[in-house]
Amino acid sequence: MSEAKRLENIDKRHLWHPFTQWKVWSELAPLIVDRGEGVELIDVEGRRYLDGVSSLWCNVHGHSEPALLGALKAQADKVCHSTLLGLTHRPILELAEELAPLLPEGLTRMFFCDSGSNAVEAALRMTLEWWQKKGGTAARRKSAFASLDCAYHGDTLGSVGVGFLADFHHSLESVVVQARRVSPPHVYRFYQGMSDDDALARALLELEEFFEREGDTLASFIVEPLVQGAAGMWIHPAIYLRKLRELCSRHDVFLICDEVATGFGKTGELFACQHAGVLPDLLVMGKGLTGGLLALSAVCVREDVFAGFSAPVEEGKTFFYGQTYAGNPLAAAVAVANLRLLQQRDTLGHVRNVAQWLKEKIEEHLSELPWVDEVRQLGVMTGVELTAEPGSRKAFSAQQLVGVRITQRARELGVIIRPLGNVMVLMPPLCITRDDVSRLVRVTAQSIADVLGQGPGHV
Ligand SMILES: Cc1ncc(COP(=O)(O)O)c(C=O)c1O
């Protein structure tokens, strides 16, 4: 039996993969990653694949980047783990010092966690507890969260509450408290038949009315700024985020920007809220914080948020929340090296080039395919919306497994991509070269054409 087959058997016997349909998985030969080099992953049989989704949207400088591995090894020689509960450590302090000047103005206090979901959970709880601990009837009324329709903020029960999707979560309905919802100005889904301008005007009005109605009861509003990633790369204009900021301020509602997906350069700015000049009260980060090497996340907050918890013991305002590996020293040391590299290599400048190359190649290879209904892109964050009937906006049914089949075909052609329903996602590591951008888009287009044919009637 080959080594690949032996490993596959272990996988099929013992593993349970996240967000993965078991029957479909069990019938496919898995790609078993052995190594990574630059923008490529290499399987146990030595085949190379372009990592077109940056290992779930987190890789920044490529795999096995020597500067990051050096930081990791140097820290491993000192201490691999020590807690932030009642202690502190050098790498997390160095990280705080490096990160502070890069944060949007006003965010001075950092609360470290281990994953995006747990940091979102922390941010939500901070805002809720802030109001409850403040006391008084008006403050205590502020006990609800709000978010955008089809938002995704993670998978703990609290973060599912602000990102509830009926298809995924209907069996959790009895235990998840669903947030109040507003429809984003997404023409494709919510305001069909309208022009972008009309949809935006309508969405802004709805937002204003929503705050008039619900503002008094909201502790916070959480948003993925500018790009709702997991919804399928839905992009809203900066003016929408600015309006949200204005309404949150007017109605005393904390604005939480969830930059877990958008942060660390993926949209062309370090944080997406900076495109809009919006200053959040709390900013959540994860994924790219360590350049995509290790699990680390943070909630960065304004001093007045922190002040709600920094009181004498008898006031009982301690924030009882945290994880064992929150702010792990290895991850923190790598994050410091990541931030330095981002600046030394002018990664943001490079992303602006990558965005332009992506745009050109999409125009060249994807725009003519009848199945491609819309391409949405900001920086490297790209969603290719497919349709079952060109011109109709009709989606393929889940049973057709179109995304899986396209992904499999791309893999045969040496590229890793991943679908979100009818949307094929492209989000390469930020360091990608022009040639590899070309390869990524060309293979995606070819895979779509190979699976769906060149025109209707081939599916
Ligand atoms: C916007 C957003 N928030 C939170 C999360 C959850 O992060 P994690 O998977 O690290 O828990 C994600 C993950 O994709 C995300 O895209």
CATH class as words, domain 69-344 = alpha beta
Of the candidates 356, 402, 401, 408, which has an alpha carbon nearest to the alpha carbon of residue 382?
A: 356
- Which atom of ligand 1 sits closest to the CA of residue 120? 4
Of the candidates 95, 85, 111, 58, which has an alpha carbon nearest to the alpha carbon of residue 333?
A: 95
CATH class as words, domain 31-61+346-452 = alpha beta
Q: How far apart are CA 48 and CA 139, in angstroms?
A: 56
Give residue-wise pLDDT tens across range 146-196.
Answer: 999 999 999 999 999 999 887 888 899 999 999 999 999 888 888 778 888
Q: How far apart are CA 402 and CA 405, in angstroms?
A: 5
Domain layout of the chain by residue ranges: 31-61+346-452, 69-344
pLDDT at position 64 is 98
Write the residue with the smallest CA distance to atom 2 of ligand 1.
Answer: 153
Give residue-wise pLDDT tens across range 359-386.
Answer: 999 999 999 899 999 999 999 999 999 9
Q: Which residue has the tokens 């699990």?
A: 295
- Which atom of ligand 1 sits closest to the CA of residue 287? 10
With a Cβ cut-off of 6 Å, ligand 1 is lined by 115-117, 120, 152-154, 224, 229-230, 258, 260-261, 286
User: Ligand 1 centroid vs 5 CA: distance in angstroms?
Assistant: 32
CA of 70: how far to CAs of 34, 79, 114, 345, 429, in Å?
Answer: 20, 15, 21, 17, 20
Query: For residue 455, is pLDDT > 70?
Result: no
The HSE-up count of residue 219 (CA atoms within 13 Å, CB side) is: 22
Average pLDDT of the residues of the chain: 96
pTM over 0.95: yes
Handedness of CA 335, 340, 345, 349 (dihedral sign): positive
pLDDT at position 459 is 45
Q: Label each residue of the chain as H, E or C.
A: CCHHHHHHHHHHHHCCCCCCCHHHHHCCCCCCEEEEEECEEEECCCCEEEECCHHHHCCCCCECCHHHHHHHHHHHCCCCCCCCCCCCCHHHHHHHHHHHHHCCCCEEEEEEECCHHHHHHHHHHHHHHHHHHHCCHHHHCCCEEEEECCCCCCCCHHHHHCCCCHHHHHHHCCCCCCCEEECCCCCCCCCCCCCHHHHHHHHHHHHHHHHHHHHHHEEEEEECCCEECCCCCEECCHHHHHHHHHHHHHCCCEEEEECCCCCCCCCCCCCHHHHCCCCCCEEEECHHHHCCCCCCEEEEEEHHHHHCCCCCHHHCCCCCCCCCCCCCHHHHHHHHHHHHHHHHCCHHHHHHHHHHHHHHHHHHHCCCCCCEEEEEEECCEEEEEECCECCCCECCCHHHCHHHHHHHHHHHCCEECEEECCEEEECCCCCCCHHHHHHHHHHHHHHHHHHHCCCCCCC
pLDDT at position 236 is 95
Query: For residue 458, is pLDDT > 70?
Result: no
Considering the chain, what percentage of its residues have pLDDT values greater than 70?
99
User: Ligand 1 centroid vs 116 CA: distance in angstroms?
Assistant: 5
Q: Label each residue of 238-286 as H, E or C.
A: HHHHHHHHHHHHHCCCEEEEECCCCCCCCCCCCCHHHHCCCCCCEEEEC
Write the residue with the smallest CA distance to atom 16 of ligand 1.
Answer: 261
User: Ligand 1 centroid vs 327 CA: distance in angstroms?
Assistant: 17
Q: How far apart are CA 207 and CA 219, in angstroms?
A: 16
Mutation test residue for ligand 1: of 113, 287, 299, 425, the one with most atoms within 8 Å of CB: 287
Q: How far apart are CA 200 and CA 189, in angstroms?
A: 13
Quick one: average pLDDT of 18-43?
96
Q: Tally the residues of the chain.
A: 459
pLDDT at position 62 is 98
Quick one: average pLDDT of 294-315?
96
